[in-house]
Every structure is written in C-alpha cells, then in structure tokens.
Structure 1
Amino acid sequence: MKVIVLAAGQGTRLRPYTNDRPKCMVELAGKPLLHRQLETLKACGIEANDIALVGGYLKEKLNAPGVHIFVNERFEETNMVSTLFCAESFVDPGHDLLICYGDIVYEQRVLETLLRTDGDIVLAADQQWRRLWSLRMDEPLADAETFKIASGKIVELGKKPRSYDEVQAQYMGLIKIRFNKVKDFVDFYNSLDKAAIYDGKDFENMYMTSFLQALIDSGWNVRPALISNGWLEVDTATELERYNKMQSKKLLSSYIELKN
C-alpha cells in the first residue's frame, strides 16, 4: 500500500497554533497530529518509505523522518485535490492507495475497518458522527454534509443536508483506492474539464467530495467503511483546546483512545 497525507493548507482557523507550524504539526495531547497518524499507519504495517506527505504552508517545519515529501507550491490558491496530485509521481498502480487528510487522528481499529472493506474506492465514515459534532459545535447539521448509501454503495456525499436523514454517516477524510483502479483514478482526474465549475469551485479549487461525487456519478463502486467514533478532526483552536482539556480530565476516551 502507498499512502499520501495531505498537509498543505494554512489552518487559519487553528491560529494562533498554526502561526509557526503547519496544521498537521499542531499538538493534540502533547503530540503532533501527523505523528499520531504515522504511528497508527505503522501499527497497521505501513512503513515510512511507503508514505508521502504533501506540504505547502511552512513546509520547512514538517517533521516526518523517512517519509517522502512533496510540495504544493501554490497552496494559497489551490485546494485539496490539487494538493493530492502534486504527489502523482508517487502513486503506484501495483499497490492500493490510501489518502489521508492531515488534520485527523484515528484509532487503529478505524484504519483496519477501512483496509478490510472492498470496493473500487472505500471511504471511512462515522455512523455516530452526530455525537462528535455535538461536542464540536452547537448546531451539528449546520456543518454536516450529506452521505447517502443505497444497496451498500455511496450515492451522494458533500452536499448541504436539509435534515439528519440525509446524513447516514459522516465522511472522515480517509480514502482507499483498490490497486487495479489506481491508474483509472489518476486518468479520471486528468480527463476532467479544467474549465468546468465543480460545486461552485473551479478545477484547481474543487472539494475532494466533489471529485469523489464525480467518480460516483460516472459509475464507480464507492463503498463506505462504517465506524462508530474512534477519530477526531482538529479544525479550530476552540476544538483543539476542548479536546486537550477533556484529555487532561480523562473525558476524551469515550470519543477516541489516544496513545501517549
């Protein structure tokens, strides 16, 4: 398996913690988010040499020994899909591809569930997302995105939901592409209309969910790997401070078990 961790963004909502470091290097319970993720990957048998990290903002502050470093030099004016394909040369059609957002942490069981789920593309998704979102914000539905499943396949994600019924789970930012679809995945991206608008964004700024929806609409077999909690997204300074306070009081373990 090859792994690409996306960590080019500026993390403006995590300031002041990102004033002097990339978002993935911000510490949760005394350890950088990136290091927690790398430890979980290693626990599942994935070594540093099979991992690529795509940086951008304060890239010189990235600390990931043994990991291949790529750079999105245009991180200020492009979005996550563009960041992913800055590491296109790292992709190997003979291996499964795992794509990870740089601002998440997750338990080993979450990754293991994703790895054993079959599909052209598999997305880790939290069925108990509303519990976590209620910790993060006052109005969970306001920040949630649609995630609809039919006959075991994901048929829609990333839209603005009108009700909780349209959010059967919440996409986490963990994606697995089966080895025999990796080349097609890259070719699909390169074949997209670069002049088109994708959910209100131009090609270079399309959301990852918009790209995934385009694959779904083209007939790809996109499956969910459903989990129940066991992960965190660290998006704002308020969230980080709340998580750290809960961890110090031993209250965070009902959401995620963090290793020291």
Structure 2
Amino acid sequence: MKGLVLAAGKGTRLRPLTYTRPKPVIRVAGKPIIHYAIENLLEAGVDRVGIVVSPATMTDVSAACNGLGDSLGITIEYIVQQEPQGLAHAVAVARDWLAGDDFVLYLGDNLFGRGIRPFVTAFNESRPQGVVALARVADPRQFGVAEVEDGEIRRLVEKPEVPPSDLAVAGVYVFTPEIHEVIAGLEPSDRGEYEITDAIQGLIDRGGRVMGLPIEGWWKDTGRAEDLLDANRLLLGGIARRVDGEVSDSRLVGRVVIEAGARVTGSTVIGPALIAAGSLVENAFVGPFTSVGPEAEVRNSEVEYSIIADRAVVDGVETRLQECVIGVGARVASRRGLPKAHRLVLGDESRVEIG
C-alpha cells in the first residue's frame, strides 16, 4: 500500500500566512504539519509516500521534508500537479505513480490526534472499495457530507446548502485501484473542480462498498488561524518535559521542551510549551500552549497560547500577546505603553510596530 499526500493547494483561507508558504509546511507544536501526515502513514504501515505538489509549493514542501525520508526509513517522492483542480484530479495526476496499488489519500494540512491506523486496518480486514474517515461537525456546509447506513456510505454531497447529516468527510481515504476508472469519467463540479466526493459516489453507484469510519480522538482541518492555534494546543498537550538547551536564571514549570541549541535566560516558561533549536527567550514570559520556532526570539515580552514561527522576533511588547500566529521572519516590537491586549495574525516577513 502507498500513501498519497496532497500539498498543492493555495491555502486561501489561511492568508496572509499562506501568501508566501504553503499551509502543510507551517509549524505546529514544533514540526511542519506535513510531518505529522507522513509519520501517521508510517505508523499505519505505509512506507512509500508520494507528495502531490504544485510548481508554487514544490520548493517549500521539499525543503520542509528534506531528510525526513531517511530519518524515518521511508521513500518520499514528488508528483507535480500543474494546476490544482480538485482532490480527484490530484489522484488522476498520480495514477502512474500509484501503479495499480491500494493507497491512502491524505490531505497534507489535516491533523489526527490518534493517527490513521484504524482506517487502514478496516480496509485490510474488510476489503471494501474504499474507507472514508468521518467526523461530526457543527456546520457541515463547509465539507463533503455523508449519509451512512450500517457502517457504509450510501450518499455523499459536496458542501451542500442543506446537509443530509452532520458527518463530514475528513482528510483521510483508503482506496483500491478501482477509483481510477471512476475518476477518469468524472465531469467538473459547479466549482470547476474534480471532486473526490463525486468519485466516491461513483464507486457506490457502481455497486462498490465504501465504509464510513468515525474518527477516534480529535481531528483538525487547519484552514484558519484558530485551527492552527487549537492544533498547537492539542499537540503540545501530549509532550513530555525535556531540557536539552541552555537555561540560566529562569523558571521552567511543567511540561516544557527546550531543544538543543535554544537559550532561555532570565525568563519564565510555563508548559506545555516548546522552545525550538536556535531560538532565544530572554527576560520574557512564555505561557502555556506556546511554541517558539527555530531561530525565533522572544525578548522583554509576554506571550501565551501562540505560535511564533521560524526567525520571528517579539521584542519589548509590554502587555501580553495571546492567540497570536506570528509568521516566518515577522517582527513585533513596541516603542511605548500598550493597550491591554493584542491579537495578531501576521504573514511571513511582515513588520509591526505597536505604539
């Protein structure tokens, strides 16, 4: 069985963060989102992974995954989709690479708290034409929605105005090669895309059996800044205390990770929190559910429940920053007294002065 990870999308819902880098490479709890997908595939028994990229995302995705295959002992290959035209189109582009094998289709910006092994196991044990991960959501209109009877999907509708259920199609699917023939006969949807929900419905209409399996634990489609922060919270909630970096004149409380090469001086860090390699926390307060990325700096400031990305700088912000996503290379500085609170979502390389 192979794994097909999709990382060609534009991530428009997460702009401005995605103007300069694709969503799957954004770090959450210290790692690019796509790393969790590849690790979950390996844990489920998949050791050959194809990543579908666009010309615009190829450089960033390949850089984020550089060396990952060797460290995990898996093969990673890249398949270029010249223009994203839907999930089913991505599968069609990868058809030659898939070469008639069963495969897991994994959306590269999705996170699963307990991995994906149950979906692969159900597929291998029952041998249906497909297994689809399902999650109950408050507003199904933003998702593909399934009608399920006795564990099997009877009907799928893509982003319906009047949803037939609250069961959303989540970001993992397992298919036999039969899906390729269905995709080959698809017409574009009203959105102009080749929908994977239409392909699954085509399997069902042909008499194929498609299982709908509820997700165990939490699931995050990281489409908004709020989703990134919540995923960061959930993942940091599972870390164990580890101090490999340099700590001086500081207080570390609870489950705190200080990676090798990081420096914490004159500061308080309350876990769960992660301070990545090469970063600096100086005369600062870092509160729970905060991750500070590689080579980032937090100086003379207070921050909690936030993501500070690679090379970002927070300097001299006197009032605590909360629920912030600070992009790669961004800088937040203060020149004088501040209002009581600030909430920021900054794109990469941006600059903000709060006065």
TM-score range (shorter-chain normalised) is: 0.7 to 0.9
**Corresponding residue SS for 1:146:** strand
Equivalent pair of 2:151/2:213 in contact (CA under 8 Å): no
Match of 1:189 in 2: 183
SS in structure 2 of the partner of residue 148 of structure 1? strand
Q: CA deviation at 1:144?
A: 4.8
Q: How does 1:87-102 map to 2 (within 5 A)?
A: 87-93=94-100, 95-102=101-108
Higher RCO structure, 1 or 2 (CA under 8 Å, sep 6+): 1
Could you say which structure has the larger radius of gyration?
2
Q: Which residue of 1 aligns with 2:26?
A: 26
Q: 1:5 to 1:185 in 2, by over 3 A?
A: same
Distance in structure 1 (CA, Å) of the matches to 2:191 and 2:13? 21
2:141 and 2:151 map into 1 onto residues whose CA distance is 26
Aligned position for 2:281? none
1:237/1:113 CA distance change after superposition, 3 Å: same
* Map of 1:255 onto structure 2: none
> Which residue of structure 1 aligns with residue 133 of structure 2?
124
Displacement over 6 Å in runs of 4+: none
1:205-216 map, 5 Å: 205-216=193-204
Q: Whole-Å Cα distance in 2 between the matches of residues 230 and 242 of structure 1?
A: 11
The structure where helix makes up a greater share of residues is 1
Q: Sort the Cα spacing of 1:79 and 1:141 in 2 relative to 1 into closer, same or farther, 3 A.
A: closer
2:88 to 68, 78, 81: 81
Q: Greater shift after overlay, 56-65 or 4-13?
A: 56-65
* Match status 1:162 vs 2:162: yes
Q: 1:236 aligns with which of 205, 224, 242?
A: 224
Describe the superposition over 1:37-83 as per-residue Cα deviations: whole angstroms up to 9, x where unpaired: 11122223322xx10000013211113244100111123xx222212
Instruction: Write the letter of the residue equivalent to 2:175.
Output: I
Contact 1:115–1:176 (Cα < 8 Å) also in 2 = yes
Shift of 1:99: 0.6
| Number of the residue aligned with 2:253 | none
Residue 14 to residue 177, structure 1, CA distance change in 2 (3 Å)? same
Gaps of at least 5 residues in structure 2 are 70-75, 237-272, 274-287, 290-355
Provide the C-alpha distance between the structure 2 equivalents of 1:143 and 1:188, rounded to a whole number of angstroms: 24
Q: 1:226 aligns with which of 204, 214, 223?
A: 214
Is this contact kept in 2: 1:146–1:161, CA < 8 A? Answer: no
1:185/1:61 CA distance change after superposition, 3 Å: same
Give the match's secondary structure for 2:208. coil
Counterpart of 1:212 in 2: which secondary structure?
helix
Alignment-derived partner of residue 254 in structure 1: none
Contact 2:141 2:162 in 1 (8 A): no
Unpaired segments of 5 or more residues in structure 1?
A: 134-139, 251-260
TM-score when scaled to structure 1? 0.76
Residue identity over aligned pairs, in percent, reads 23
Q: 1:44 to 1:245 in 2, by over 3 A?
A: closer
Report the TM-score, using the length of structure 2 for normalisation: 0.57
Contact between 1:124 and 1:227, CA under 8 Å: does it hold in 2?
A: yes
Cα RMSD after superposing both structures = 2.4
Alignment partner, residue 145 of structure 2? 146
Q: Which residue of 2 aligns with 1:137?
A: none
